[in-house]
Amino acid sequence: MNARKRIGTVGVALLAGLAASAPAQAASLTCPAEPTQQTFQRWLDPAHYVPMPGGTFEAEGGWTLSDGARRVPGNEPWYVAGADDSTALSLPAGASAISPPVCISVDRPTIRFFARNQGSLLGQVRVTVLVPTVLGEVRLPIGTVLDPTDDWSPTPPTLAVVNLLSLLGGPGDVRFELTASGYRSDWLVDDVYVDPYSKG
C-alpha cells in the first residue's frame, strides 16, 4: 500500500441525530451470507471481501453516474476481479457515482477499492454513504482518498460507521457515493469491495 495515501473518517457522533428517527425493531444484525475472497491479501490485508454490486464497472451495473462520470477502457493492473476485465470508472472534477443498494450491518464495517490519481496532487475522492431513514435519505461522509502519485493502488479500508445504525433496527441497504473533488481532480476507480467481517 502506498504509504503516502491517507484517508479520513468521521466520528460516530454523526449517527446520534439519526437514533431518534430509526425504527425500533428486533435486529438480526447480519446481512445475507455471500462467497468471500481475500482480495487485498497481497497488501497485507487478510480480511475476506465481497464485491460491491456493479463495482467492477464492466457493465452498467446499476451505478448512477453524473457530472461527467463514465465507464472507460482500462483496469487496475492486478485484475483482482477477473483476468478479462477491461473497464474502469472515470471521475473528473465534480463527477459522482452512486452505487446500487448494498446491505450494511455490524459485521460489514468497511469498503475498499482501487484508485488512480490522474489529476492534481490536491485532487481527492470523497466517500459518502446514503442512509434511508424515516425522515428521508441522509448523507454521511465517511472518508477521503488522497494520493500524490499517478499509479493504481488500493485505498485504505474506509470505515462505514453507519453500520452502527443496524443496532437500532437490524441490517439494511444503503448506497455509497464516490465524488472527485479538489483543484483539477481527475481519478480512475475500479473494483469496489465490502468487507463483511469485523477486524476485531
64-77, pLDDT tens digit by residue? Answer: 999 999 999 999 99
For every residue of 165-186, DSSP letters joined together read GHHHH--EEEEEEEEEESTT-E
Cα separation values, 185 from 13, 79, 93, 122, 191, Å: 29, 25, 5, 7, 20
CA–CA dist 92, 81 (Å, integer): 24
Q: Is the pTM of this model over 0.85?
A: no
Domain ranges of the chain: 6-20+35-195
How confident is the model at residue 162, as a pLDDT?
A: 59
Is 6-20+35-195 a CATH 2.60.120.200 domain?
Answer: yes
Ranges under pLDDT 50 in the chain:
1-28, 166-168, 198-200
Strands 6-7 and 96-98: unpaired
Q: State the pLDDT at residue 73.
A: 97
Task: Give the span between the Cα atoms of 171 and 156, in whole angstroms.
Answer: 24
